[in-house]
Amino acid sequence: MYGDTEGAVSGQSGCIAMVSFGPVAQDLQESLRAGLEPIFRIALCLTGQVLPLAGWNAERQQYLGEALLAELHRVWLPDALRVLALTEADLYADDLNFIFGEAEVGGPAAVVSLRRLRPEFYGHPPHHELFARRALVECIHELGHTFGLRHCPRPGCVMQFSDRIEESDRKGPGFCPVHRAALDAALRRA
């Protein structure tokens, strides 16, 4: 697992605003805030804003992740550097059966679906710590994309692509040295 440096990025204003599409548990949002702030060294603002879901595909019984990203632009918060949305809805992308999340590479918006991160989805009993870790990892991954980071081939890097929960579980919440340096450079420019 890769580690992350600590300390605030100087001269930074704004925050990462967290919103949700549909209700999301407050304790999870608090836990994610506590985990994300030291990684990105930016305040995470829990807005409490709950947005209506968009992009329903009745045939697939899922929501199109891209449609949710488009909705985030409609509710943009002026002081936010980035907007991270959480949802309990199942998401997909046009070329994938499902996605854990989606983000605009180098853009301001990211969304993470919690549905397939829950052990219960796979027929296992609830496991709060495992679920919270998975949610943190996927939020870091998608926010990394908003700061211009691409997928990583290095084992354990949070920026590895995951199309199965086992792959998500293998990666850590930390960045490899290459992606940590790229994120630090992007944060200085933010």
Catalytic residues: 142
Structure tokens at 49: 């804003």
* Beta bridge partner(s), residue 45: 17
Q: Which long-range contacts (CB under 8 A, 24 or more apart) does 182-189 make?
A: 182/147, 182/148, 182/149, 183/40, 183/144, 183/147, 183/149, 184/5, 184/9, 186/147, 186/148, 186/149, 187/9, 187/12, 187/40, 187/41, 187/42, 187/147, 188/9
Residues 28, 31, 33, 38, CA torsion sign:
negative
Backbone angles phi, psi at 89, to 5 degrees: -75, 150
* Euclidean distance between CA atoms 157 and 121, whole angstroms: 25
